[in-house]
Structure 1
């Protein structure tokens, strides 16, 4: 299997890199599985006290779902797909160690959601984030839940229905980016913050993170149950496949031009 996820140690900090730069680190099933396994390993390692996650290349943390995978889904596969996301999101939410996102460009769709599940986010002026899934025919369920937790209902409706991307300054203003630094400093700043958090008392850190998870658990489980129901209906209708094919065709024509 290709190394879709890279891990390395930086002292007490584990660095995780999403590694499909040729497709802007877009997700597929092997990549989701590999990320869960990498986070499992770092969670078990007693010498790792904090984690930084970033994307390979300079253009994107992650472009979201790889549409070449989801364009073939039927209703049954769509329901399984939601279960795959549940496994990944549950793994992130249950980490006892702080998780920091080092944002090196675009974070869209499910990559945006993963960024919001991180505890803190470091970015630069070129970062863009949002929930453009509607543009490719994907109904949003987990995205609106996590956006509402951070942003409230009005902005969640805006981002979900328009599919627009926020620039870095808007993200900072609404609290989604904690620190804006020059692009070449993003990873170093994230690692420095991770080292600072790694030095905090570990039991207090674990219990604080546990409580944040408890506070949001009911909404998380509700959005997943809704996701299975909604994605089954959406993919059963055939609309996502048609929209994704059209989206990919437009993108291919734009590249060719």
Structure 2
């Protein structure tokens, strides 16, 4: 099974995270395939806009695959998080409009992928947030990405509680661009992508490059801080214990 599906129609590429049995959680294979797919689409002049979605009806992406994360050796954390950074950067590097169609849960790494997109269109039943602290991890990259969309009050609440919020609340505070019914979220996203694809591509590219330049230093600093913080978290054993407890409970 391919972890990433890609379909191109009338200049719009639909990229689907395809691990529905795992709520489209990010593992190495999905991460690598997503990076490669987005780089290819970015260099394809026939593609004028991109929609990111998740397979199935339950999740856009539930975050990092905990089986992978629980087994990461502390010495491998810098390389592992560099790969994660490359995935977010692949979304940020797009010179074409990118819409995240949040058809369900968007949590952790999935939430952060969506925050790197230009537009977030959420199903009314979607739940969104930054649950890292509940898995024993510091909220570092996600908290930085949220500063680009919300104020400190909402950022602190979401980063420190780890609670997910519903789509309407996410829309009210500025994390989500549009709301749609569950049955129409993909259609609405493709329609928005089609409209954006009609805009002059050079103006879009240059605008996105400037927006990226404005935020790149902060993103780079957050990723570096994330490596340092998560290495310390793993050294204390909190992520391993929390993730293994979750995995045990999910199999009973």
What TM-score range do you get, normalising by the shorter chain? over 0.9
Instruction: Describe how 1:227-246 pairs up with structure 2 within 5 A.
Output: 227-246=226-245
Q: Does residue 137 of structure 1 match 2:136?
A: yes
Unaligned runs of at least 5 residues, structure 1: none
Tell me what 2:95 maps to.
96
Tell me what 1:34 maps to.
33
Contact 2:49/2:193 (8 A) holds in 1: yes
Tell me what 1:117 maps to.
116
C-alpha RMSD over aligned residues = 1.0
Deviation at 1:78, TM superposition (A): 1.5
Tell me what 2:161 maps to.
162
CA distance, structure 1, for counterparts of residue 139 and residue 204 of structure 2:
32
Report the number of matched residues: 252
Tell me what 1:46 maps to.
45
Tell me what 2:216 maps to.
217
Q: Does residue 204 of structure 1 match 2:203?
A: yes
Deviation at 1:142, TM superposition (A): 0.6
CA distance, structure 1, for counterparts of residue 143 and residue 66 of structure 2:
20
Deviation at 1:236, TM superposition (A): 2.1
Contact 2:23/2:60 (8 A) holds in 1: yes
Q: Does residue 75 of structure 1 match 2:74?
A: yes
After TM superposition, the structure 1 stretch with the greater mean CA deviation from structure 2, 133-142 or 92-101, is: 133-142
Unaligned runs of at least 5 residues, structure 2: none
TM-score (normalizing by structure 2): 0.97
Deviation at 1:65, TM superposition (A): 0.5
CA distance, structure 2, for counterparts of residue 235 and residue 78 of structure 1:
9
- Per-residue Cα deviation, 1:209-255 (whole angstroms, up to 9, x for no partner): 111111111110100111111122111222211111112222333xx
Q: Does residue 9 of structure 1 match 2:3?
A: no
CA distance, structure 1, for counterparts of residue 75 and residue 153 of structure 2:
32
